[in-house]
Amino acid sequence: MTHRVVLIAAAFAGSSALAAFAGRRGAPSAEPTHTVWDSVYTATQATHGDSLYKGTCVKCHGATLSGGDEGTPLVGPAFLGNWRDLTLDQLYDKIRTSMPPDNPKSIATRDVADLVAYLLSQNQFPAGAKTLTDSVDQLKDIKITTSRP
Ligand code: HEC
C-alpha cells in the first residue's frame, strides 16, 4: 500500500516537473512587478481557504500550520525561507500538483488560489480588495518577499 502511494506520487511529481519545464520554456522572464505586500488577495478568499485547509490539510500541517509528524510548517521563518524571492505561481503549483500527497491535482484551481490566500494571511501578509487569481501567468508577477518593501 505505502509503496503504491509512493510510486503514484513519484509519477505525478515527474509529470508536473515536465509540465513546469514545458511551461517555462520560451516564457519572457520579466521581473515581477508586485510583491505579497501589495494586498493581493481578499479576506473572503482567506476565509474560504481556511475552511478548505481544515477539510484537507490540517491533519498533516496542523491547526496552527506549524507542522507535525506528517507535514512541514506552512508559517514562519522555515517556510518563508523556502519560498523567499520566488513567485506565487510556484507556491500555487506546489499545492496544485502535489497536495494533498495522496490525491494531488484533486483541488479546483480557484480553491488552490484560496488556499494560497489563506497561507498568505497566516504569514501576516495584508488582504485587500483584489482577488488572487488562479492564472499562473498573473501569479508569476507577484514575488514572495519576507520584509515589507
Ligand atoms: C498526508 C499529509 C499531507 C496532507 C494531507 C497535506 N500535506 Fe502539504 N506537505 C506534506 C509533506 C510531507 C510536505 C513536505 C514534502 C513536500 O514538500 O512535498 C508537504 C509540503 C507542503 C508545502 C510546501 C512546504 C514548504 O515549506 O515548501 C505546501 C505549501 C503544502 N504542503 C500545502 C498543503 C496544502 C495547502 C494542503 C491541503 C490541500 C496539504 N499541504 C495537505 C504533507 C501533507
Query: What band does 69 get if pLDDT is binned at 50, 70 and 90?
Result: confident
Q: Is the pLDDT of residue 7 over 90?
A: no
Cα of 100 to ligand 1 centre, how many Å?
6
- Between CA 140 and CA 90 the distance in angstroms is 8
- 82-111 per-position pLDDT tens digit: 999 999 999 999 999 999 999 999 999 999
Which residue range forms the structural domain that includes residue 131?
A: 2-143
Q: What is the pLDDT of residue 149?
A: 79
Q: How far apart are CA 82 and CA 90, in angstroms?
A: 11
* Neighbouring residues of 90: CB distance < 8 A, sequence distance ≥ 6: 83
DSSP state of 87: B
pLDDT attached to residue 29: 63
Task: State how many domains the chain has.
Answer: 1
Give residue for cell 496552527.
64
The CATH number covering residue 52 comes to 1.10.760.10
Does the residue 23 lie in any domain?
yes
Q: Is residue 76 part of a domain?
A: yes
Task: Among 12, 50, 54, 61, say which to mutate for ligand 1: greatest number of ligand atoms within 8 Å of CB.
Answer: 61
pLDDT 10s digits, 39-64 = 999 999 999 999 999 999 999 999 99
For residue 5, what pLDDT band results from cuts at 50, 70 and 90? low
Confidence (pTM): 0.85
In a domain, 88, yes or no: yes
**CA quadruple 47, 43, 98, 61: dihedral positive or negative?**
negative
What pLDDT score does 6 carry? Answer: 55
**Closest ligand 1 atom to 57 CA:** 37
Average pLDDT, stretch 116-135? 98
Residue 149, in any domain of the structure: no
Quick check: 125 pLDDT over 80?
Answer: yes
Residue 144 Cβ contacting ligand 1 at under 6 Å? no
Q: How many Cβ atoms from other residues are within 10 Å of residue 101's Cβ?
A: 15
Summarised one tens digit per residue, pLDDT across range 17-42 is 555 554 454 455 679 999 999 999 99
With respect to residue 64, please indicate whether it lies within any of the assigned structural domains: yes
With 0-12 CB in 10 A as exposed, 13-18 as middle and 19+ as buried, what is 2?
exposed
Q: Per the domain annotation, does 148 fall within a domain?
A: no
The answer to whether position 52 is within a domain reads yes
User: Is residue 92 domain-resident?
Assistant: yes
